[in-house]
């Protein structure tokens, strides 16, 4: 079952060098989530074959700068033109509902489905969403306006039953769910077979932290400790660090320091200034501190594989 991140847009404020503002798709098992929705998001979904976009039930917005939300009015109205009926929930810092409603009103648009706007607290880390497969928790960031990152953490799945044991003990299909949940099994001869003998632990849950836009903020490290994937903005290299400081962004080195301190599996760089046509200086700087870094480009897909628990 996939845990798959697709980069739709990875530039900062200005579309440039063939790159677009921020947008990502995260697939966790059967659920599709959209994270930020910069200009061009719909076209990038088509370019990169994101199927079933009408299945997206939740959108997570980091903050209200245009490079993270200007794709939303178009996406919302396209859904309506395609006769969407299922509800959509949009999580964001305050002000988005007013902005979207003003745009829809001015353009005479009416939506065919309900949009639920959920305002998130950008000051403290809070779980804001869960379904059967995943929880989503906010990560307070710092950027001169209310902004939040999001931590997606897969839920622990029940233990897996060992296929050979089903045949060995002639276990009926209807008993399997209970055994996976922790029950023992009693054979027709009255012998008890323990849950531990019949099952193996489910793989470790997978996780993804999305952190943009933000100044260097090391106090997020405990919140993202040991995540499999970290996307952290790297708008500039250290050479241009003065701009990072001034505009509330991070350098590649700072993102890599966060990745290293948090012991993440992989660092994905993004949200590049338009001045970088070639991304190799950003990747090189990040790798010098945290070797498993990648300067993401649009269309890049990052799969998180299961890690088996150690017995």
The residues that are catalytic are 67
Name the strand (E) or helix (H) holding 138.
strand 134-140
Q: Which stretch binds Zn ion (CB under 5 A): 65-73, 77-85, 96-104, 224-232?
A: 65-73
* Total number of residues that touch Zn ion (CB under 5 A): 4
Pairing of strands 192-193, 293-295: unpaired
Shorter beta-carbon distance to Zn ion: residue 123 or 196: 123
Our finding on whether 283 is near Zn ion (CB under 5 A) is no
Q: Which stretch binds Zn ion (CB under 5 A): 8-16, 29-37, 104-112, 275-283?
A: 8-16
Q: Between residue 180 and residue 239, which ones bind Zn ion under the rule CB under 5 A?
A: 213
Q: Bridge-partner residues for 185, per DSSP?
A: 193
With CB atoms as reference, the residue minimizing the distance to Zn ion is 65
Q: How far is CA 8 from the centre of its chain?
A: 12
The residue from 39, 67, 228, 257 that contacts Zn ion (CB under 5 A) is: 67
Rounded to 5 degrees, φ, ψ at 251 are: -90, 165
What one-character-per-residue DSSP string does 141-204 give?
--SSS--EEEEEEEPPPPPEEPHHHHHHTT--GGGHHHHHHT--EE-TTS-EE-HHHHEEPPPB
Interaction mask 12-51, Zn ion, x per CB under 5 A: x---------------------------------------
The Cα–Cα gap between 300 and 295 comes to: 10
Q: Minimal distance in Å, beta carbon 244 to Zn ion? A: 12
128: closest CA among 150, 96, 146? 150
Shorter beta-carbon distance to Zn ion: residue 248 or 265: 248
Residues that bind Zn ion (CB under 5 A): 12, 65, 67, 213
């Amino acid at each position: 079952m996939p845990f798959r991140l697709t980069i739709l847009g990875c530039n900062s404020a200005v579309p440039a060098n063939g790159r677009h503002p921020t947008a990502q798709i995260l697939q966790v098992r059967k659920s599709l989530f959209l994270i930020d929705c910069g200009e061009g998001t719909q076209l990038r979904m088509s370019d990169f074959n994101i199927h079933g976009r009408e299945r997206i039930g939740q959108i997570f917005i980091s903050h209200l700068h245009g490079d993270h939300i200007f794709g939303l009015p178009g996406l919302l109205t396209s859904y309506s033109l395609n006769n969407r009926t299922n509800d959509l929930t949009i999580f964001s810092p305050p002000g988005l509902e007013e902005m979207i409603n003003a745009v829809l009103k001015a353009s005479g648009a009416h939506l065919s489905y309900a949009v639920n706007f959920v305002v998130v607290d950008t000051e403290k880390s809070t779980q804001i969403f869960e379904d059967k497969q995943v929880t989503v928790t906010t990560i307070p960031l710092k950027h001169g306006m209310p902004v939040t990152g999001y931590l997606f953490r897969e839920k622990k799945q029940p233990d897996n039953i060992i296929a050979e044991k089903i045949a060995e003990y002639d276990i009926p299909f209807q008993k399997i769910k209970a055994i996976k949940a922790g029950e023992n099994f009693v054979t027709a001869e009255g012998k008890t077979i323990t849950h531990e003998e019949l099952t193996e632990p489910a793989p470790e849950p997978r996780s993804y932290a999305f952190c943009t836009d933000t100044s260097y903020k090391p106090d997020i490290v405990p919140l993202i400790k040991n995540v499999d994937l970290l996307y952290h903005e790297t708008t500039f290299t250290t050479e241009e660090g003065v701009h990072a400081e001034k505009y509330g962004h991070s350098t590649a080195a700072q993102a890599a320091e966060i990745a290293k301190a948090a012991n993440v599996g992989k660092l994905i760089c993004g949200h590049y200034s338009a001045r970088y046509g070639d991304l190799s200086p950003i990747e090189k700087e990040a790798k010098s501190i945290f070797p498993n870094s990648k300067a993401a480009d649009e269309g890049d897909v990052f799969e998180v594989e299961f890690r088996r628990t150690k017995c």
